[in-house]
Amino acid sequence: MVKKNITLGEFIIKNQASFQYSSGELSRLLNGLRLAAKVVNHEVNKAGLVDIIGEAGDVNVQGEDQKKLDVLANEKFIQTLSKREIVCGIASEEEEDFISINSYDEKHQNKYIVLIDPLDGSSNIDVNVSVGTIFSIYRRVTPVGTPVTLEDFLQPGRDQVAAGYIIYGTSTMLVYTTGDGVQGFTLNPALGTFYLSHPNMEFPETGNIYSVNEGNYVHFPQGVKDYIKYCQKEEDDRPYTSRYIGSLVSDFHRNMIKGGIYMYPKSSVSTNGKLRLLYECNPMAFLAEQANGKASNGKDRILDLKPTELHERVPFFCGSRKMVEKAEEFMAAHNE
């Protein structure tokens, strides 16, 4: 049985041997993410006191207005990870291209690349609703000591060696997996230390929460419309409860604890869906499968999809296994 009073640092060291590449490199990388998360958490918590909320005046590569905290979080994670002699490349949702770090120098035997959504749900910043950071870690596929290439980043999600998220809410939590279950750590702000609070997290097999932006209902495929009507029908253990925060991290976190399904389907407006395969869907799918859940694009397993570009978007259905499978049934009925 895992002790709950263990710190994140102690847990990483204690379980390092269970990781197939147990050289200490991944441990240092996770510690780097932990440090950056604490810095961003500090800024998020004081956002209402200083001039860092609101628009930054720029538009990111997705064509979306960048919030000031978006920019700050992006800078903090890139700076923190760049200084550690373990990361050879970073790709951020906020950057048009990937960043190569010391991989041109033969002295640097960096093996890992990180893909990151620095501040997920940033549209909620100005109204004091939970936001988060999502990260995904791979081993590079090109030779060590050479510059990273696009090939290093366009790996299918099943090749991830670690993934996780940090949720900045009423409490700050870091949740991650290295392929051996999902562990959740809560920050003690008085000590600045993450403690294991949610060991071996798992989705209930089914649930009674569905999370989708129903304001887009008229634009959804018929199979998705039919599944939503199924969720709303008064029969057996239904109707389900509709809960949608608009922050993937927050919706995913709640559904993993209580049981539910998160959906961001394609639509007549967003024909490929809206969520990014590399920065959002792959890491959350890895976490879901490690937590006894399921993630798909409505038809195919997310982790089997082969990315073709850094900012590729895909439909996303994720959560309690039976709920995702039922949603897939409705889409299959319309060959969607």
CA 63 – CA 74 distance, rounded (Å): 16
Residue 279: Cβ-neighbour burial (10 angstroms; 0-12, 13-18, 19+): buried
Token pair, residue 44, equals 């998020």
Task: Say whether 165 counts as a known binding-site residue.
Answer: no
The tokens of 133 are what? 């950071």
Alpha carbon distance 323, 82 (integer Å): 40
Q: Please tell me whether 310 is known to bind a ligand.
A: no
Q: What is the DSSP letter of 141?
A: S
CA pseudo-torsion sign 83, 86, 91, 93: negative
In angstroms, rounded to a whole number, what is the distance separating the alpha carbons of residues 322 and 284? 17
Check whether 244 is labelled as a binding-site residue.
Answer: yes
Task: Check whether 117 is labelled as a binding-site residue.
Answer: yes
The reply to whether 303 sits in an annotated binding site is no
Q: What are phi and psi of 177, to 5 degrees?
A: -140, 145
The amino acid occupying position 48 is G
Which of 292, 280, 259 lies closest to 181 in space, CA to CA? Answer: 292
Per the annotation, does 96 bind a ligand? no
Residue 326 phi/psi, 5° resolution? Answer: -65, -40
Beta bridge partners of 186: 173, 195
Q: Could you tell me the CA-to-CA distances from 17 to 7, 12, 204, 266 in Å, in that order?
A: 17, 9, 29, 41
321 three-class SS: helix
> Is 93 annotated as ligand-binding?
yes
Instruction: Give one DSSP letter per residue of 159-193, joined into a string.
Output: G-SEEEEEEESSSEEEEEESSS-EEEEEEETTTTE
If you ran DSSP here, which 8-state letter would residue 281 be given?
A: I
Is 32 known to sit in a ligand binding site? no
| Residue 121 counted as an annotated binding residue | yes
119 is in an annotated binding site: yes
Tell me if 233 is assigned to a ligand binding site. no
Q: What is the 3-state secondary structure (H, E, C) of 51-65?
A: CCCCEEEEECCCCCE
Which residues are known binding-site members for Mg(2+)? Answer: 93, 117, 119-120, 280
Which residues are known binding-site members for substrate? Answer: 120-123, 213, 244, 274
Which residues are known binding-site members? Answer: 93, 117, 119-123, 213, 244, 274, 280
